[in-house]
Structure 1
């Protein structure tokens, strides 16, 4: 097998031992690393640079997880953010530079060589499943576990994603909150679970909703359907404030390069969105828009003040002498 075939097949990574078994030497490996063909991820673990570099951070993390789980075998189960990455749950503000596993062999918890070993004293058989040849903590528990380790905001993001993707349910999260009541961080995770909403379609929407709560803005409805005078559906908006006749849109989902799989050019997408917004405004709604940059910590206060002002402006313009019908 030639070098390129070896490194682009299999489980996304190749070990030094596999190279040597195929007749390559350490000199060949070093030359491939110097040329940029290979990238070293861990001691004795390499990836094909061109294939690996186009992966998302979460997908890259899954490759690293495989290399660790394959080596450690049934003594551990992949857990916390590493398990969330395998299940496909979205994450925000979560470090992916370490692999998280839970010990199943009674070994003590420790951190070594970029691997966080969690003690597995309360792991049941029904907490685990096999995915791609690895033992992995099931999605509901891994999502709740991650919620105990970070901020409320990051917990809401992963829980919203888990609910939206049907990886977990509110009942799952509530039961886990009771089961792990004494865990460090469990109170924070339970609070996040009480706010989680599967209607959120992106981390930006989840973060925006928590931002509104922190700054005491009125609570919006999510994924609001708006119809025109004839009853035709114009579209869904991320947020809607009924009593203010105001809509909100998080613009992080549309990039300058367009949506993945969307054949339209960025200009065509922008034009279509402008037409949609004009139709929404003709139904006597105000609209606020914001981006990732505008909900960054350095910008969030100004963004909230702007949205609050636009809410009150819409109420002045569109609710005077008007019967308010709840959005649906």
Structure 2
């Protein structure tokens, strides 16, 4: 279901009580779902939406009844831009206002901050903060890991690194600014998924030397494959292996079976060059307790002295084995 095509039924304040009671009965009967006061949608279509899709509907609903177009920001803007949010903070829509008196709408998280004209764009029919401003806003308000996930996602989608750096510099003095600077310095376009981003943060916490991202492994026939993480000083490699690779039609267009076979042939070639190879999933990516022993089994252990964010920020990005 496309959240942009789901029809909104908007009931104005001057609607008759009879109309309101009729809508309330349809909600009880399971025909309609009330998105926010005065805005309804067909329930079955709404139930078919993803978490992000239902959030888009919530933003559209707010825009339909707001006295002036809301300026969506933070996690709401991230959803509009297709950036990873880990499903966090999507229980309400987020807007940025410059006047504290405009805070307090039902189901809305209002953030008071200055906003330049160049930091806003229109996505679909909704006003949103531009990608660099959105990334910095989330980094200011989130733990380090969540900030890195969205920053990596923005760079991978094509946002210029200089734009993030400029955005972080422009946030000087705002609460969380130092963390936002660290997030932007740590972010890498080579991280291709939220799981890879989380694994990088976990490796930093464990004290692992910065890995090579998207490590190219070659044999006499040419490129044998790319590994999500390369540890050439061992040498060893690591892969974040989620079910989406085999279940998502966009990633496994010829079917799960063919995807598994292709992955097996690729791994066989890679292992001839890099025998030490570890695999882990999304859950392990975010846990030092679970990821540390997985890495230790392939000889990847904490460094002494302990690595820092600065080590990751200045680390090399591409090495061919």
> Structure 1 length as normaliser, TM-score?
0.82
Which residue among 112, 121, 140 is the counterpart of 1:148? 140
Larger mean CA deviation between 36-45 and 254-263 belongs to 254-263
Q: Is the 8 A contact 2:69 2:127 kept in 1?
A: no
C-alpha displacement of 1:218: 2.1
Which residue among 165, 177, 182 is the counterpart of 1:191? 182
* Paired position in structure 1 for 2:101: 108
Q: Do the aligned partners of residues 326 and 199 (structure 1) sit closer, same or farther apart at CA in structure 2, a change above 3 Å counting?
A: closer
Larger mean CA deviation between 43-52 and 201-210 belongs to 43-52
In structure 2, C-alpha distance between the alignment counterparts of 1:237 and 1:210, rounded to whole Å:
18
* Paired position in structure 1 for 2:201: 210
In structure 2, C-alpha distance between the alignment counterparts of 1:228 and 1:48, rounded to whole Å:
56
C-alpha displacement of 1:158: 0.4
What CA deviation, in whole Å up to 9, does each residue of 1:107-129 have, x standing for no partner?
A: 43634421122224x22211222
C-alpha displacement of 1:211: 0.5
C-alpha displacement of 1:83: 1.0
Q: Do the aligned partners of residues 258 and 118 (structure 1) sit closer, same or farther apart at CA in structure 2, a change above 3 Å counting?
A: closer
In structure 2, C-alpha distance between the alignment counterparts of 1:266 and 1:145, rounded to whole Å:
38
* Paired position in structure 1 for 2:167: 176
Q: Is the 8 A contact 1:205 1:250 kept in 2?
A: yes
1:136 and 2:117 correspond: no
* Paired position in structure 1 for 2:275: 285
Q: Do the aligned partners of residues 240 and 109 (structure 1) sit closer, same or farther apart at CA in structure 2, a change above 3 Å counting?
A: farther
Residue 277 of structure 2 aligns to a residue whose secondary structure is: strand
* Paired position in structure 1 for 2:150: 158
C-alpha displacement of 1:185: 0.8
In structure 1, C-alpha distance between the alignment counterparts of 2:300 and 2:164, rounded to whole Å:
36
Question: For the aligned residues, what is the CA RMSD?
Answer: 2.8
Q: Name the count of aligned residue pairs.
A: 301
Which residue among 110, 115, 118 is the counterpart of 1:117? 110
Q: Is the 8 A contact 1:75 1:103 kept in 2?
A: no
In structure 1, C-alpha distance between the alignment counterparts of 2:97 and 2:36, rounded to whole Å:
21
> Could you list the runs of 5+ residues in structure 2 that have no partner in the other structure?
302-317
Larger mean CA deviation between 150-159 and 131-140 belongs to 131-140
Q: Do the aligned partners of residues 76 and 284 (structure 1) sit closer, same or farther apart at CA in structure 2, a change above 3 Å counting?
A: closer
* Paired position in structure 2 for 1:308: 296
What CA deviation, in whole Å up to 9, does each residue of 1:280-318 have, x standing for no partner?
A: 112243211001232354xx31321221221359xxxxx
C-alpha displacement of 1:73: 4.8
Q: Is the 8 A contact 2:95 2:108 kept in 1?
A: yes
> Could you list the runs of 5+ residues in structure 1 that have no partner in the other structure?
1-7, 314-324
Q: Is the 8 A contact 1:141 1:176 kept in 2?
A: yes
Q: Is the 8 A contact 1:94 1:150 kept in 2?
A: no
C-alpha displacement of 1:193: 0.7
In structure 2, C-alpha distance between the alignment counterparts of 1:261 and 1:303, rounded to whole Å:
25
Q: Is the 8 A contact 2:51 2:87 kept in 1?
A: no
